[in-house]
């Protein structure tokens, strides 16, 4: 199914090129997600942070954060059931301190 002018190249190379093209968008998206996760892991949270004092934090997030006690925003973001808004609030708080 490749163009005739590509016949001189090994089939493995052509297949690899086809797959690279086919999945390039997905791979780029995953690379961006990994970079974002790495940045979030670099944002530290105080181990004795008083989650009850944070206005705007969902009740579910507050309870989970008090139980898990995440040390970074990245750890907090990986807790199941945590919403983007809760993470955004933590990021704002962490940047203030």
Q: What is the pLDDT of residues 18-58, one digit of tens each?
A: 999 999 999 999 999 999 989 999 999 998 899 999 999 99
Q: Are 32 and 57 in contact (CB under 8 A)?
A: no
Confidence band (pLDDT; 50, 70, 90) for 91? Answer: very high
Domain 42-96 CATH class label: mainly alpha
Kindly report, residue by residue over 56-69, the tens digit of the pLDDT: 999 999 999 999 99
């Amino acid at each position: 199914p490749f163009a005739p002018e590509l016949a001189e190249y090994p089939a493995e190379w052509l297949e690899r090129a086809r797959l690279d093209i086919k999945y390039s968008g997905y791979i780029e998206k995953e690379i961006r997600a990994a970079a974002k996760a790495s940045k979030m892991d670099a944002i530290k949270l105080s181990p004795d942070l008083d989650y009850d004092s944070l206005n705007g934090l969902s009740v579910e997030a507050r309870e989970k954060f008090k139980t898990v006690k995440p040390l970074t925003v990245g750890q907090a973001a990986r807790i199941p059931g945590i919403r983007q808004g809760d993470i955004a609030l933590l990021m704002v708080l962490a940047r203030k301190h």
